[in-house]
Amino acid sequence: MRYQGREVGVEGRVRLVMESALTARDRVGVQDFVLLENYTSEAAFIENLRRRFRESLIYTYIGSVLVSVNPYKELEIYSKQHMERYRGVSFYEISPHIYAVSDNTYRAMRTERKDQCILISGESGAGKTEASKKILLYYAVTCPANDHMASLGDCLLQSNPVLEAFGNAKTLRNDNSSRFGKYMDVQFDFRGAPVGGHILNYLLEKSRVVHQNHGERNFHIFYQLLDGGEDDLLRTLDLQRNPQNYQYLVKGNCPRVSSINDKNDWKAVRKALPIIGFTEEEVQELLNIIASVLHLGNTQFGEGEEGETHITTETPIRNLTMLLGVDGSALREALTHKKLIAKGEEMITPLNFEQAGSARDALAKAVYGRTFTWLVEKINQSLALKDEVYHSSKGSSVIGLLDIYGFEVLQHNSFEQFCINYCNEKLQQLFIELTLRSEQEEYETEGIAWETVQYFDNKIICDLIEEKHKGIISILDEECLRPGEACDVSFLEKLEDTLGGHAHFVTHKLANGKTRRVMSREEFRLLHYAGEVNYNVSGFLDKNNDLLYRNLKEVMCQSNNQILNQCFRREEVIDQKRPEMAATQFKNSLTKLMEILMSKEPSYVRCIKPNDAKQPGKFDEVLVRHQVKYLGLMENLRVRRAGFAYRRRFEAFLQRYKPLCPETWPNWHGRLADGVSTLVKHLGYKPEEYKLGRSKIFIRFPKTLFATEDALEAKKPAIVLTLQTEWRGYRERAKYQRIRRAVIVIQSAWRGMKARRRARRRRQAAELIRRFIKGFIYRHEEYCPENEYFLDHVRFSFLKRLRRNLPKSVLDKGWPVPPPSLTEASEHLRRMHMQNMMLKYCRSILPEWRKQLEQKVVASEIFKDQKDSYPRSVAKLFLGSRLENEQINLKVIQTLGSDKVQYGVPVTKYDRRGFKARPRQLLLTASSAVLVDKTKIKQRVDYAALRGISVSCLTDGMFVLHVHNEDNKQKGDAVLHCDHVMEVVTKLAMMAGRINHVNISQGSIRFAVARGKEGIIDFTRGSELKVAKGKRGHLLVTAPGFSST
């Protein structure tokens, strides 16, 4: 459904107002039956229901009563978002929903501090149980909660599958029909959080345990146990999975239902039992009882020749003995005999075949019925407010939920339908009384004259059923207690004698000819508020007696099963007083229920099922009309519409319709009552169409409201245009103001930040200058707080300057001058830097250049500052050899063999005696120096025999190889001349390991000529190089000098 109007609530939430739906009323009907123009027409009522059902709108109001139609499908209207949408919203401000009723009831409890209750009624399959689940779910989700409250919420929700398993069954009308009435109290503390709960159950249909109509099933728990129970569990209980094996499950001939998954439901029940406080032992004992009911149904009897009855099936008795923990022989005796006490004496008499079967069935019903009552009490223990007696908390409030059977009219109506319809008569009486009282109180509060409402007062029917000594229940009890052979027919005759003249009671005997044709002789008819119902008296007495023989009670009292021990009290056997009849018990419990409901503020949910086939979208008008009649909905509507159809508080009415009057638009500044009066006068309301109360306006006819709503719809385009214009202007002005304020804030913050930064920098600068000056004054003192900053600054400045001016190469000897405090550190840094540069340089040199440098270093060590020609030789590279391989004779190479030539150079050798110059080749190998004359080795000097090498300090190329005199192979020292004297001497010294044996002579060089004889070489400076024999037999060498330029 699309809603047109919107109203902004106090919390800013957008709320869909009820009147908004009036514009769509032709398509989806009205969402409150009070607004139906022809409210007395049942056809109009049903047509409105049909329209809304067709649009999947299953909820409709009759004033404060919610009518719910079962959709037979899942609707997306129960999410948490939907809960929040209805939370805290006024009842009529949003579309009808079960959550609206739940929230309205909750808020009324909180604000008025008065107990509330929600009465849910409708026939089987109308969705009563689902409605109660939705209400509980709403409270569990939306109410305040802590860990304890969350646990209570779980218990409330988990009690549903357990109660449904034990109290619901598949019927012809509903696959999950509740076969008992349930009233649940949810207790809330002063904060509105659920803190406890309590359940009352009414009139469990115990007869279903032993008998089901065709197409119906027993209670769900039996099928769930057989289908979902574990194999070990079934073996323990001696059960088989096939339900057809059990007499109590075959009578309906419906073991499987397509819409029910017994296996999954069994898992849900097993999961729920521990949550609501069941121990494993209690669960096992409970299942023992369920299994024992099935075994009890399979117990069969036979008749002897003398008519005595005996048990023919031993296995079920053996299983009952084991599962219930009773004496087997005592159980056999109790099932076939009854114990009577007359004048203080006990008498045991045998039962005939039919009586034995009835006793067995009575025991099954009693065991199951009392176990169900125990189950409810067990759930109550888990829901109870801890450490407090139920209903004793002064700071708590209660919301009650009554999920009870609706008015039933079946083809065959018996004792159960009589009790159900009696209950509905009492509820209808309560509803009419409370509705009229509420209406009258509202009229009196608002100062509106109350008009007497004519309605059907069903007190006459309630008295017909429950009046003492003269009511149907009293007569039924008397007939059950009457000595002699009482039967259902005698009960009917007693009714005819006592109630024969009552206007709402008819029997076949008392009826006219036309009525007799549709009534049997065993029926009586009651004219209920919802219509006529025929009841068949067959079974009335037995069901009212609900009799269980004393000896069967004694056997159950001796059971070892703890649950049965609590269900069958020993005091019950000892007490000689006859227990109350079933109808009287129901009447008394119903009286207490009425007292509970009268003490609370009620809300109502009326549930309707649209068809018997459980099909979504199908609307059976005949069936719906039947339910509308029996739920008394038309009577409810007639009472609600007896005065005014529509009423709203002044502020809500004025807020919605003020655009229709220039004087009230856009705002009314006077009294609300004056504003409403001005508005309705402008709209042209006639005096008979409305009344103004103290705080509300009352409108009598829906057409008046519809006309007002149509006028509002026509006005909306102009309103929207005005609102859009105003809103856009407001939005732009607000946007400009926000921007302007933001700019001012940003400017102020930025200026403040800049000023603070500037002030902070100034303070820091002043402090820095002060410390610097003070440090300068104390700069010559020891390191102390006064000069620490200055000295650190000086050191830091030096290091920064040093970093910028570090030498770039090993030849750069520059270095910044350090301050006095860093002299030693500076020297360490200079040395480390130089080492680092040298290391980097060495790592970058190629192998061949490394060898060159090594030789140059050795040459430097030998000749630097010793020989005049050294500076000129530094820039000249040493070659690997001065001779090409082709220049060395092949014969010489062969003679040397493996001793490879590593260096060769042409030299001039001077004879030791005549000093004649002879050209030679000097070859250096790994072990010796060899002088070669073309193809012949002239002299071979082993490095081990080399004593030393002599050269002059001048620029000549003369050098002498000194050998040991003891070596007979050597003729004497070798006098040689070479243009590359420093290269040859350096290589020879390095290869021979004679670096420290090179002699640079400042004068003459003496050399060995032969054994015991020596020669002398004299050196002089001249203009050019000359080598000649001198006058004294010396070798004279003239060496040219260098120019000073």
Q: Which residues are catalytic?
A: 124-125, 129, 174, 177-178, 406, 408
Separation of alpha carbons 435 and 632, rounded Å: 13
Structure tokens at 724: 């859009």
By CB neighbour count within 10 A (0-12 exposed, 13-18 middle, 19+ buried), where does 785 fall?
Answer: exposed
Q: Which residues contact 209 (CB under 8 A, 6 or more apart)?
A: 218, 219, 248, 293, 361, 364, 365, 368, 369
DSSP3 helix / strand / coil % (the chain, rounded to 5): 50, 15, 35
C-alpha angle 499-502-508 in degrees, rounded to nearest 5: 70
By CB neighbour count within 10 A (0-12 exposed, 13-18 middle, 19+ buried), where does 112 fall?
Answer: exposed
Angle between helices 147-167 and 220-228 (to 10 degrees): 100
Structure tokens at 857: 């270093």
Separation of alpha carbons 409 and 877, rounded Å: 132
Structure tokens at 563: 């649950």
- Phi, psi dihedral angles at 8 (to 5 degrees): -90, 120
Please report which helix (H) or strand (E) contains residue 201, including its range: strand 194-202
Separation of alpha carbons 299 and 812, rounded Å: 123
Angle between helices 415-446 and 582-598 (to 10 degrees): 20
CB 488 within 8 A of CB 522: yes
CB 68 within 8 A of CB 607: yes
Q: Which residues contact 678 (CB under 8 A, 6 or more apart)?
A: 661, 663, 664, 668
| Dihedral (CA of 891, 893, 894, 896) sign | positive
User: Hey, is 388 helix, strand or coil?
Assistant: coil
**How many CA atoms, within 13 angstroms, populate the side-chain half-sphere of residue 812?**
11
CA distances from 4 to 7, 11, 60, 636, 653 (A): 10, 20, 18, 29, 17
Q: Count Cβ atoms below 10 Å from residue 652 Cβ, excluding itself.
A: 18
| First-last CA distance in the chain | 118
The 8 Å CB, 24+ separation contacts for 225-233 are 225/266, 225/287, 225/290, 225/291, 226/262, 227/262, 227/263, 227/266, 228/262, 228/263, 228/264, 228/265, 228/266, 228/267, 229/266, 229/287, 233/287
Number of residues in the chain: 1045
Residue-wise burial string across 415-427, b where 16 or more C-beta atoms lie within 10 A, e elsewhere:
bbbbbbbbbbbbb
Separation of alpha carbons 689 and 601, rounded Å: 31
* DSSP assignment string, 940-955: EEEGGGEEEEEEESSS
User: Hey, is 757 helix, strand or coil?
Assistant: helix
Q: Where are the alpha helices (DSSP H) in 820-954?
A: 823-844, 847-863, 870-874, 890-896
CB 1017 within 8 A of CB 1032: no
CA distances from 265 to 135, 161, 425, 482, 552 (A): 21, 8, 35, 46, 33
Of 122, 76, 82, 115, nearest to 99 by C-alpha is: 82
SS (H, E, C) 652-703: HHHHHHHHHCCCCCCCCCCCHHHHHHHHHHHHCCCHHHEEECCCEEEECCHH
User: Hey, is 1028 helix, strand or coil?
Assistant: strand
